[in-house]
Amino acid sequence: MVVPEPRVWRAARPHVARIARAAKPRVVRVTRAVATRSMKLTTLQLTAGAAAFGLALSAGAVAVAGPWDSSGQRTAEREWAASRHREGGADHEGGSGTAQGAPKPAPSALSVLRGLAGSVPAPTGQALAGVLDPLLSAPSLGSGRTAAVVDVATGKSLYDLGADDALTPASTTKIATAAAVLSALGPDHRIETRTVLDPGSKEVVLVGGGDPTLTSREDAKGYASLRTLADRTAAALKKRGLDEVTLTYDASLYTGPALHPIGPNTNLAPVSALMADEARLDDSSSGPADRATDPAADAARTFADLLADRGVRTKAPASAKSPKKADRLATVSSPPLSTLVERMLTNSDNDIAEALARHTALAAGEPASFEGAGTAIHGELGELGLPLTGARFADGSGLNRDDRLTAALLTALLAKAASPAHPELRPIVTGLPVAGFTGTLRHRYADHLSGTGVVRAKTGTLTGVNTLAGTVVDTDGRLLAFAFLATDTTDPTSAQKALDGTASALAACGCR
């Protein structure tokens, strides 16, 4: 089948060609080595984990493995319908369907990973140590550092540097949050926001269901729209002959403190079961931004304005509990959790992370608070049989310095997510940023071309903490999971470059 070349690929061609020219000598050497061994790497093997060896090293190999979509991921991972600025989920072989216009699940993640049979040799521990030990000894990585590398096909540990020592993980915590919520609720689960009418009254309640991606913008990009909810609510009220109501809002689904222990911060809004556009006060959709101090009230005021535009007058909204026997007026639903997880991991979205942590708590019967979410995440990962010695979850985002994870746990999570036995966890793999192309790795790896397009990893950064955990395909075609954690770092830029270089060394390693 011939796949037409998309516009985004034509636009990216000069960039890839520049990378290819820089890497050409290396490509020649590796190609000769592959030819000598008569290895027959399939396209599925080359595209495993959206990290095809060819893209980073040559335009020719890229063409063989397929073009990239607008998010920087291969079309082998995503449907064309999800390519333009949208996040799609992994293929979970489910049948829940996708709302019209919403990001659609990709058809190929499972088969890509099935192509990774142990048909190519795994690196040896001794060879990996020879490559990684000097790099992980870099002074820029501070006084505390741990690392682990695991062969995904077998789950075997290949490299261990204090892998069982628990350190502050920063945003790599989101990998654990993703695994817990996907395991607890399934990748096809959707989060509902609704309006209800108190019987015998004119009181309409906007009920928050904890959807962190609910948006009031004109272009919802497939996410749940507050405007659509206003359309449906106004239509339902007019059928009842109501054009003036009392509007209240219910954000009681979550309990405990709304403010993260770090205090007011541009990286995270107060955690609320009702918010629109993550309570951002600008037009951004990711990254730091000033936030509303009361997200629920802010969303309710926006909803009141939308109802007024549709001919339904309201009074200034106030907080109230939804009546137990209220009549449902209208609902909107989020895309499936697979999409929310991918967006969280790609952009390191703290608001989505804290919401998904609370939904894990709700699924486990725990209070939907920071403490209850931590208990639920720990319990869910235990059900998956993961190594939890020393692990602590003080939040879902990794912003809390009291979080503790081990490199062994992170690599075990990644290996399990890539396993055909756990297709429900596939969005963890497909959501990881691609080095040099997407999310929090978009502007990294300029100094490490061997990792560009090959490394897929979740970043973690706090003052004095730098971490990186993800997957990489080495030059023999073996898929590896890795985790590097460093504490007491003093120069974040140097520390990031050191970690990027270490991951790139794995990509360049034929360490047999």
What are the residue numbers of the active site?
171, 174, 348
β-pairing, 144-151 with 479-487? antiparallel
Give kind and range of the element (H or E) at residue 354: helix 350-364
Nearest to 445 by CA among 436, 453, 454: 436
Residues contacting 265, CB < 8 A, separation 6+: 399
Q: How far apart are CA 221 and CA 87, in angstroms?
A: 9
**Up-side HSE of residue 381: CA atoms within 13 Å toward CB?**
28
Alpha helices in 240-349 (DSSP H): 295-309, 337-347
Other C-beta atoms lying within 10 Å of the C-beta of residue 303: 26
CB 303 within 8 A of CB 251: no
Helix (H, G, I), strand (E, B) or coil at 272: coil
Q: Which amino acid is at 350?
A: N
Burial of residue 493 (number of CB atoms within 10 Å: 0-12, 13-18, 19+)? exposed
Q: From the CA atom positions of the chain, what is the Rg in Å?
A: 23
Give the 3-state DSSP-derived string for 100-123, with helices as H, strands as E and coil as C.
CCCCCCCCCHHHHHHCCCCCCCCC
